[in-house]
A and B are shown apart, each in its own frame.
Chain A
Amino acid sequence: MKRMFLIMIFGVGLIFSSCEYEAYVAPEVIVPTEPISFSEQIQPIFSNQNCTGCHTDSHASGLDLTPGNSYQSLMSNTGVVDTLNPATSLIVTIPASTGSHYKIYTAQDDLLVLTWIEEGAKNN
């Protein structure tokens, strides 16, 4: 019992001795200078962030983000893309990097999606 107790104390000490306090340093957000391409810059976000793990043609919200279907789905669901008020578009606000949606963007993704809508949300 006593030996086991000492082993456990040693184990706990060993684990918590590896405690560190490192702040997360976010990659620098690059402001796009060229027009945003939906197929080359926006669709990969949905795939890389695994939005497409849930948002398929059978998703309850009706929003399908899989390649080939996403553009049509984004534009046909009310409020998802709002070119008059880009910042309030649901595809900007719900998965925002500061939000609490199940899958969220990086800060770079935030800027790319917002800029794409500001540029008219083209299917390019």
Chain B
Amino acid sequence: MKKLLLPFIALVLANAVVFAQEEAAVDKPVVEPFGSGYLIDNQTTLVPYPKTLEFVIQHKFGTLENGREDVWGIYNSANVRLALNFVVLKNVQVGYGLTKEGMVHDFSAKWTFLEQTRKNSVPLSVSFYGNIGIGGLEKESYGLEYEFMNRLSMFGQLNASRKFTDRITLQAGASFSHFNQTDTSKYDYDRIGLHLIGRFKVTEQGSVIFNYDQPLKALQLSNHEDVKLHPNVALGYEIATVSHAFQFYLGYSKQLLPQYVMIRETKDFDFNQFNFGFVITRLTGY
């Protein structure tokens, strides 16, 4: 029996050593830093597997101001965005969406060029996200001197995230937003912004999530002094599975595209101006 036992233990140990060496050599990306490519109003650094189609529904209800008369805005007017995103290469996603407010068509790209690894050889995930929006209203909405370029708006954002533990992931980012045409009595052309989002897992599938977007006064090219710069804060709960994510939240901005959140959101920063909203993402592999 002893004759058999010794070679067996030696085999197991040798196997364990080889396995450990392989693990050390290949430091794989962390598993599921976020539950979805979206977190409330921001993109996360998560990009699904190549050839995955992501269908997105973003919905924001009316403001809380009427209270129970319209069930805190849920039965008031809504803003909606439907989008399709496709992962064309590893960590590269492109997409198209259409937003109700302003009928804005947007084309986007996201590239996660650094992925945090399990053994910390890469401590952060870093991604770039950009979109270009094309306003779809009637020509008359763009004033007397209409040009197609007046419809365009752009957004670029650099994000860095870290999964600190299995429960906690945080992401910080900086962005630049631009509108080609602006009513300078109300808005600016450009805005630099800072962003912070995070999730705290409380169950296997459930997480408390938050979103904070801070528009900054730098680069106010229109010199519009009275422009209101309110932070877009939101707090919510996410239920995420392998192929679905559902996020329900209460937040400040009624806008859905990030450049509109950063430049065109001008309502008062009162709690009764906050609104409920949700995001649903559905992944399909091809």
Contacts and interface: CB of A to CB of B under 8 A. Distances in A.
Nearest to B266: A100
Interface stretch (B22-30, B177-185, B197-205): B177-185
B154 A20 contact: no
A18 B134 CA distance: 12
Contact of B70 (A21, A28, A60): A60
Nearest to A101: B267
Given A15-B130, A16-B154, A60-B70, A98 B185 contact: yes
Contacts of A4: 89, 92, 111, 113
B83 interface: no
B143 A27 contact: yes
Contact of A24 (B109, B152, B183): B183
Interface in B96-115: 109, 111, 113
Contacts of B113: 1, 4-5, 8
A24 B76 CA distance: 30
A60 B272 CA distance: 15
A63 to B, nearest CB: 12
Nearest to B76: A54
Given A1-B113, A22-B147, A11 B77 contact: no
Q: How large is the interface on A (under 10, 10 to 19, 20 to 34, 35 or more residues)?
A: 20 to 34
Interface string A1-42: 100110010011001101111111111100000000000000
Q: Which of B75, B221, B268 has the most CB of A within 10 A?
A: B75
Given A21-B189, A22-B180, A54-B76, A102 B254 contact: yes
Interface string B75-101: 111000000000001001000000000
B154 A15 contact: yes
A54 B63 CA distance: 13
B184 A23 contact: yes
Contact of B111 (A8, A22, A25, A53): A8
B156 A16 contact: yes
A61 interface: yes
B132 interface: yes
A16 B178 contact: yes
A10 B185 CA distance: 34
A59 B65 CA distance: 13
B17 interface: no
Interface of A is mostly: loop
Contacts of B267: 100
Contact of B144 (A19, A27, A100): A27
Contacts of A102: 62, 77, 254
Nearest to B176: A16
Contacts of B92: 4
Contacts of B140: 27
B241 interface: no
Contacts of B183: 23-24, 26
B149 A11 contact: no
Interface string B159-193: 00000000000000000001011111110010000
A98 B154 contact: no
A4 B149 CA distance: 28
A20 B77 contact: no
A8 to B, nearest CB: 6
B66 interface: yes
A1 B122 CA distance: 16
A89 to B, nearest CB: 20
Interface string A82-103: 0000000000000000101010
A24 B70 contact: no
B130 A24 contact: no
Given A19-B154, A24-B183, 4 more contacts: A15-B132, A19-B178, A20-B152, A23-B182
Q: Pick the 3 closest A-B CB pairs, nearest first.
A: A60-B69, A24-B183, A60-B66
